[in-house]
Structures are given as C-alpha cells and as structure tokens.
C-alpha cells in the first residue's frame, strides 16, 4: 500500500501543499478534485515518483507495480514508443506476463534436448512458471487485450493498425488500454475521460470498479466520480482533505459527489466557527499587546503574548470564490426564428462518408447537445455549420442576423505562449471593443488583477481553456458552437459555465462528454452515428428513459423546433398492419442475408470453446507436481499444450474475421 505522511510540496520555494496524509489500500478507488492550480498534478507527480516531496515521507512498497496516465501522454508516445500495432502496444502493458510466456517457450526448447538431472530441474522450473503464468491470466491475455480495445471503441479491424497512424485522442485510448490490461497495484489516471465519448466512459466506469488493485484518478466529471469513487480527496487551502463516499453508507445515499459536497460544507462550517473563535481570541491578545506595549510592568506578559501569536497555527479556509471562473455573456442581437437549417447534407473525405442525408432545422433559443461516438462526425457537423468546412453535397443555411462564435477543443493550442493573458485576450477583440475595460472583462473570466499579467505559457490547461472561452465570448453573438468546452475545466468552473449557458438568450450547439452539463443545459439532442444525425426533442434523461424502455411505442416524429408531427388521414389500424407486415419482411430479409455467416460464427465459437477447454485441461495437468516424475509424459504434454495453444489462437483470428463480416452484413441489411 502506497502512503504519504506529513508531506509538504513547494513550488519556487512557496508552500503549495502541507500536512498531506493519504493512503491507497488495495481495492480503494480515490477521486482527486480541486480547482485549477490547486496542486493536483504536482501531488500526482509526487505520488508516482516523478518528483520528491520537499518534506515528509512517501512510502512505496518494494515491488509495487504502478501505472500512470498523465494528461500529456500523447507527447510521450513518439519514436519507439509509438512503434508496432495497436495490439502490440497494448500487450506491452502486460510485459510481466508476456515475459513469462517467453520463458515457457525457451524452457520447452531446452527440455526437448536436456537429459537426466538437468531435465528434471528444467521441468520443475517449467511447472512453477506455468503455474504463475496461469494465475496471472496469461492464456487469456490476448483475448483480454481485444476485449479492452473493443470497450474503448476500437473496431476489430483497427486492433492490427499501426499506432503511429492514430490521432492524439486515439493514442490516449491505446495508452489507457495498456494500463487496464496491466492491472497494476496502483493505477493513477489524470483526467482519463477527456478524449472519450459518453458510451465509452460508461464502459470505463464498469471496468475501473472491477480492477483488483487501487485506483487514484483526477476528474472534473461528477457523474464519473459518482460511478467510480469510494473516496474523494479535495485539494484546497494548501492541503488535501479526505472524504468517505462509499456506496451503502448513509452519507452516500444521494451519490458519492453529493455526499462529498454535504460533508465538505459541514466541515467548512465547523472551520468557519473555529476560525471565528480563533480570530476573537487573537484580537483579545493583540489588544492586550497594543494597550500595554510601553508599560514596563507588563513587559514580560506582552513578550509572552507576542511569542504566542507567532506560534499560532492559523486556521485556513478555502475561498470558494477563488475556485470559480465567472463566465458572462453580452446580450446578443436577435436572430430570425430559424437559426440554421441543413438539407441533404453530405460530407465525405475520399471514399469515407462521415455525414450523409442530414436534415436539421434548429430554432432560436434551443440548447442542443450533439452526442455520438468519437469519429462519428460531431465535430465535422459543427465545422460545416461554422463555415469552416464545405459539404460534399447538400446545403446548409444560416438564418437572418445570425452571428456565430466557435469554441473548439483546440482553442488553447493556438495561443501565443509568450504573451500575457491581457495581450492574448486583446488579439480577439475588434476595433469596437478597443475602448472597453479589458481587465474587468478578464476578471469576469477568472483572471482578476495581477493574473491578467501572467504569461500564457506558465498557465495550466484549464486556465488556458478559460482564456480561450474569454476570447471567443467577448463579443455578443446569438449562436454558440461549443466543441468540448469543459476539457481541463475544474468542477467549479464547469458549474458556472453550465449556469451561464442556461441563462444565455441565444442558441447553443454543444459537444461534451460531461453528462452533468448535458443534463443541466440541453433541451434537445442530436445523435450522430453511422453518417446520420437524428433529432430528439427532449432532455438527456428523457432520451435515456426511452433507450431503457425498448417495448415503448415510438413517439411521433418531431421537427427541430419541437413541433410534434400529427397522424395523417391514413393513420389507424390498417396503417399499423402495413407497418407490422413491412417490419416482418425486413426482418426476414436480414435473416436471409446473415444466416450463413451466423452459422459460421457459431461453429467457430464452438470449436474455439473446445480448443480453449483443451488448453485449460493440459494446463491443469502441467500444474500437477506428480506429472514431473514421468519425463516422457511431460514432453508429450508440453508438445500437446503448444499445439492446442496454436489452434486456439488460429480459431480466435478466424472468429474475429467472421464476426466482423457478420457485423458488416447486418449493417448492410439494416440500411
């Protein structure tokens, strides 16, 4: 168990964190929260050993296996680290298991030629190594790697793709898959959901809660924290405070994050009361010192009280206002009723179709969340609406008097690192804003006073994201296109952004993986997947309710302005009968198109199960110490075991190819 005792961390000689005591026992799942710049990343670097504590002790047990996913993992995945295929890269995470397999193969070769006492020694070694390999799940390792990659959104045909060809976001997923396969004793993740879509985050939540070791993660996604954490550590006011939010406890009845907020407010109330009492006592002492400072008869008492004042450990309370970025929106000009409309919109890059046949009409004042898996076309849709990308065919049209502002996930990357915050902010303002008080505007975005003079390159990712938001939103607009605006924003800043978007009088199209923000802001959903964009006129919770009720009758079709479709004169029992007959015919056609492939997949699965059972049976025989009394039998078992493993591996590849072909056929049949 890794632990920290009385740890002090300094930056530039200034104390950043003091009196930090933390424990990470096996099976614990700890969320680390706090404002941008509070010291979370510095604390993580200390825990994983990238920097030393300035004071105190960080105890790491001998042999502790530690896995770390930093925010800048993409920068480190270059050169040799990015070599090989996606599957190769993931399997490197389980080097402690693959090394055992390599040792087994080497022992098998040596056993074939050895004799006498040497062969007996090698057979004993082989038995012990086989036992360790089996206990660590070595025989299922490659299948587990494929499962993890699929869970993180990689289709089967991408598992063999060169890692060097992947974009930054997908490389982050590869690095995460590698760590999940490794199952370290302590897994440390710094904002692991930043590059994941909503569906993948749900899969990750389930996976992390079943890990055998300890977990420590930084996240600003309260839904993710609710689902995973049993302990929350808040970094604030120069220290780290631990809160128990385990499910099943009284304090966690309303969810882990709600339990944390409740406990924190109780603790702060107690601290404020203690601070008030301490202030009164100190004021009494200071009055005594001031009153009798120059009286010789009281000199001894005065000096005693002065020394006591110097030794007082002042109670510090986190100033919640300092943790909040205050976003504000100028009143925008009024647009026409229809803000943006697309007809038959199609976007293709060479032979790859991203969007096809998209028809949308979004009306003034709607707050629309755009959902879908990564790579489905969400950002492409926003780029078309922003005029940054021309569609391959179809049309899109902005309504009367529509002004657009775009906040994308690369806002922070285009900033000049050598400028001050104020200088960078001014680059985004037109001549009509030259006379405004720029410092006051920056103050509203969380950069008051001297913070406006800070150099951009010295700021955290969250602070640079806030600066990007400030630059875009400084001018009044009536259509906001937001692509992952919450990345790197702390919890308090996300809350205020959510409040501001709720009050914003214009129209919003929002891409985000933060489900709390989606629930708080969106009154409509666009689901982008498979080249299509489907409109849902309702909240995120209503969409989830519809998904969880498959037997429910479909709602009437809707327009993007929220108007309900009505039944025509042909609606009624006959129309229902025709619909049922058409659906039955479609099901029959799909069955015919996929029948042979389903049979093949089933047959291969049956053969694969038999092969894996044979491998397991031979493994059990090789793990029996009594077997090694008969050297000839061992030789035969080793040979049969190797052949069975090869057969199972070949069947696994055939099953993957057949399953992929079946998926393609089913997709074609549905189209």
Query: What are the pLDDT digits (tens) for 28-56?
Result: 999 999 887 788 889 999 999 999 999 99
pLDDT band at 588 (very low <50, low <70, confident <90, very high): low
Please say if the pLDDT value at position 297 is more than 80: no
Distance, CA of 245 to CA of 231 (rounded, Å): 5
Answer yes or no: do 372 and 503 share one domain.
Answer: yes
DSSP-assigned states of every residue in 620-642? HHHT-GGGGG-HHHHHHHHHHHH
Answer yes or no: do 497 and 448 share one domain.
Answer: yes
Boundary residue ending a domain (183, 202, 232): 183
Please give the residue range of the domain that contains residue 484: 338-547
Answer yes or no: do 168 and 75 share one domain.
Answer: yes
624: which 2 tokens? 């029996």
- Give me the residue label for tokens 């993890």: 148
Quick one: three-class SS letters along 141-161? HHHHHHHHHHHCCCCHHHCCC
Boundary residue ending a domain (511, 529, 547): 547
Q: In a 3-state reduction of DSSP, which class is residue 508?
A: strand
Q: What is the percent of the chain with per-residue pLDDT over 90, rounded to a whole number?
A: 27
Is 565 among the domain residues?
A: no
Distance, CA of 156 to CA of 276 (rounded, Å): 62
Q: How many domains, the chain? A: 4
Answer yes or no: do 101 and 152 share one domain.
Answer: yes
Answer yes or no: do 523 and 640 share one domain.
Answer: no
Distance, CA of 497 to CA of 325 (rounded, Å): 8
The CA distances from residue 293 to 310, 311, 347, 446, 540, in Å, are 16, 19, 81, 43, 67
Q: In a 3-state reduction of DSSP, which class is residue 367?
A: strand
Distance, CA of 286 to CA of 265 (rounded, Å): 31
Q: What is the pLDDT of residue 346?
A: 94
Q: What is the pLDDT of residue 59?
A: 94
More confident residue, 249 or 53: 53
Q: What is the pLDDT of residue 323?
A: 39
Q: For residue 527, give the CATH number of its domain.
A: 3.40.50.300
pTM of the model: 0.68
For the segment 508-519, what is each residue's pLDDT rounded down to a tens digit? 999 999 898 999
Q: What is the percent of the chain with per-residue pLDDT over 70, rounded to a whole number?
A: 78
Question: Do residues 345 and 361 lie in contact, with contact meaning Cβ atoms separated by under 8 Å?
Answer: no
C-alpha atoms less than 13 angstroms from C-alpha of 61 in its C-beta half-sphere: 13
* Main-chain phi, psi angles of 256, to 5 degrees: -60, -45
Question: Do residues 615 and 117 lie in contact, with contact meaning Cβ atoms separated by under 8 Å?
Answer: no
Is 496 among the domain residues?
A: yes
Q: What is the mean pLDDT of the chain?
A: 80
Q: In a 3-state reduction of DSSP, which class is residue 239?
A: strand
pLDDT band at 184 (very low <50, low <70, confident <90, very high): very high
For the segment 565-581, what is each residue's pLDDT rounded down to a tens digit? 333 333 344 344 445 44
pLDDT band at 246 (very low <50, low <70, confident <90, very high): confident
Boundary residue ending a domain (139, 158, 183): 183
More confident residue, 387 or 135: 387
More confident residue, 34 or 301: 34
Is 13 among the domain residues?
A: no
Sequence-separated (6 or more) residues with CB below 8 Å from residue 219:
31, 33, 191, 192, 193, 225
Distance, CA of 307 to CA of 293 (rounded, Å): 13
Is 238 among the domain residues?
A: no
Answer yes or no: do 384 and 486 share one domain.
Answer: yes
Section 271-290 average pLDDT = 73
Q: What is the pLDDT of residue 420?
A: 93
DSSP 138: G
43: which 2 tokens? 């604390």
pLDDT band at 369 (very low <50, low <70, confident <90, very high): very high
Distance, CA of 533 to CA of 4 (rounded, Å): 50
The CA distances from residue 386 to 355, 411, 426, 480, 530, in Å, are 16, 15, 22, 10, 22
Is 9 among the domain residues?
A: no
Q: What is the pLDDT of residue 568?
A: 36
More confident residue, 74 or 474: 474
Section 453-466 average pLDDT = 82
More confident residue, 577 or 351: 351
Is 229 among the domain residues?
A: no
The CA distances from residue 15 to 271, 385, 461, in Å, are 21, 48, 21
Section 117-124 average pLDDT = 86
Answer yes or no: do 525 and 650 share one domain.
Answer: no
Strand order in the sheet with 14-24: 14-24, 2-11, 55-59
Answer yes or no: do 410 and 536 share one domain.
Answer: yes
Among the ranges given (77-86, 234-243, 473-482), the one the predictor scored with the smallest mean pLDDT: 77-86
For the segment 195-232, what is each residue's pLDDT rounded down to a tens digit? 888 889 989 999 999 888 999 999 888 889 988 999 99
Distance, CA of 530 to CA of 375 (rounded, Å): 10
Please say if the pLDDT value at position 413 is more than 80: no
Answer yes or no: do 382 and 422 share one domain.
Answer: yes
Section 661-668 average pLDDT = 71
Quick one: three-class SS letters along 306-363? HHHHHHCCCCCCCCHHHHCCCCCCCCCCCCCCEEEEEEEEEEEECCEEEEEEEEEEEE
Q: For residue 662, give the CATH number of its domain.
A: 1.10.287.380
| Parallel/antiparallel/unpaired status of strands 524-529 and 367-371 | parallel
Answer yes or no: do 318 and 353 share one domain.
Answer: no
Among the ranges given (63-72, 136-145, 617-626, 636-645), the one the predictor scored with the smallest mean pLDDT: 617-626
Answer yes or no: do 445 and 531 share one domain.
Answer: yes
| Parallel/antiparallel/unpaired status of strands 231-236 and 214-218 | unpaired
Is 616 among the domain residues?
A: yes
Please say if the pLDDT value at position 468 is more than 50: yes
Please say if the pLDDT value at position 325 is more than 60: no
Answer yes or no: do 347 and 312 share one domain.
Answer: no
Q: Which helix (H) or strand (E) holds 383?
A: helix 378-385
Distance, CA of 63 to CA of 86 (rounded, Å): 28
Is 423 among the domain residues?
A: yes
């Amino acid at each position: 168990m890794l632990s920290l005792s009385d740890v002090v961390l300094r930056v530039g000689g200034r104390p950043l964190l003091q009196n930090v005591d933390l424990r990470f026992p096996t099976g614990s799942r700890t969320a680390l929260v706090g404002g941008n710049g509070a010291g979370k990343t510095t604390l993580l670097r200390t825990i994983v050993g990238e920097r030393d504590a300035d004071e105190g002790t960080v105890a790491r047990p001998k042999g502790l296996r530690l896995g770390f996913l930093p925010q800048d993992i993409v920068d480190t995945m270059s050169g040799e680290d990015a070599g090989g295929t996606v599957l190769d890269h993931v399997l490197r995470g389980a080097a402690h298991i693959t090394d055992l397999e390599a040792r087994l193969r080497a022992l098998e070769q040596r056993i074939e030629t050895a004799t006498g006492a040497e062969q007996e020694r090698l057979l004993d070694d082989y038995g012990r190594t086989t036992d360790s390999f089996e206990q660590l799940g070595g025989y299922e390792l490659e299948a587990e790697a494929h499962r993890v990659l699929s869970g993180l959104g990689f289709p089967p045909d991408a598992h063999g793709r060169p890692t060097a060809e992947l974009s930054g976001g997908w490389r982050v997923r590869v690095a995460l898959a590698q760590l999940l396969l490794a199952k370290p004793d302590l897994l440390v993740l710094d904002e692991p959901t930043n590059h994941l879509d909503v569906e993948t985050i749900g899969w990750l939540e389930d996976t992390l809660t079943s890990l055998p070791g300890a977990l420590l993660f930084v996240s600003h996604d309260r839904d993710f924290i609710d689902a995973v954490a049993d302990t929350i550590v808040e970094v604030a006011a120069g220290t780290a405070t631990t809160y128990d939010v385990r499910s099943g406890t009284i304090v966690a009845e309303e969810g882990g994050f709600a339990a944390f907020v409740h406990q924190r407010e109780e603790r702060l109330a107690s601290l404020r009361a203690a601070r008030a009492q301490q202030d009164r006592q100190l004021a009494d002492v200071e009055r005594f010192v001031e009153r009798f400072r120059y009286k010789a008869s009281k000199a001894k008492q005065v000096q005693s009280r002065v020394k006591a004042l110097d030794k007082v450990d002042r109670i510090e309370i986190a100033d919640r206002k300092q943790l909040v970025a205050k976003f504000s929106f100028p009143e925008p000009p009024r647009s026409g009723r229809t803000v943006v409309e697309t007809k038959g919109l199609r976007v293709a890059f060479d032979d790859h179709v991203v969007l096809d046949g998209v028809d949308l009409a979004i009306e003034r004042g709607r707050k629309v969340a755009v959902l879908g898996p990564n790579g489905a076309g969400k950002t492409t849709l926003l780029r078309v609406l922003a005029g940054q990308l021309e569609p391959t065919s179809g049309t899109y049209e902005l309504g009367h008097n529509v002004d657009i502002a775009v906040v994308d996930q690369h806002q922070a990357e285009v900033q000049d690192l050598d400028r001050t915050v104020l200088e960078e902010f001014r680059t985004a303002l037109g001549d009509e804003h030259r006379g405004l008080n720029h410092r006051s505007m920056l103050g509203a975005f969380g950069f008051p006073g001297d913070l406006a003079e800070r150099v951009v390159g010295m700021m955290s990712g969250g602070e640079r994201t806030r600066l990007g938001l400030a630059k875009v939103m400084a001018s009044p607009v009536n259509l906001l296109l937001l692509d992952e605006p919450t990345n790197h924003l702390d919890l308090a800043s996300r809350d205020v952004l959510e409040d501001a978007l709720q009050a914003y009088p214009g129209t919003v199209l929002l891409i985000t993986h933060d489900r709390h923000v989606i629930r708080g802001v969106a009154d409509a959903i666009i689901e982008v997947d498979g080249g299509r964009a489907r409109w849902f006129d309702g909240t995120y919770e209503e969409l989830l309710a519809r998904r969880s009720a498959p037997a429910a009758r479909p709602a009437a079709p809707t327009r993007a302005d929220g108007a309900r479709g009505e039944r025509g004169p042909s609606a009624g029992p006959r129309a229902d009968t025709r619909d049922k007959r058409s659906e039955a015919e479609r099901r029959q056609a799909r069955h015919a198109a996929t029948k042979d492939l389903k049979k093949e997949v089933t047959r291969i699965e049956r053969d694969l199960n038999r092969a894996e059972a044979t491998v397991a049976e031979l493994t059990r025989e090789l793990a029996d110490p009594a077997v090694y009394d008969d050297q000839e039998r061992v030789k035969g078992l080793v040979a049969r075991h190797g052949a069975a493993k090869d057969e199972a591996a070949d069947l696994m590849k055939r099953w993957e190819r057949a399953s992929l072909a079946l998926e393609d056929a089913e997709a074609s049949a549905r189209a």
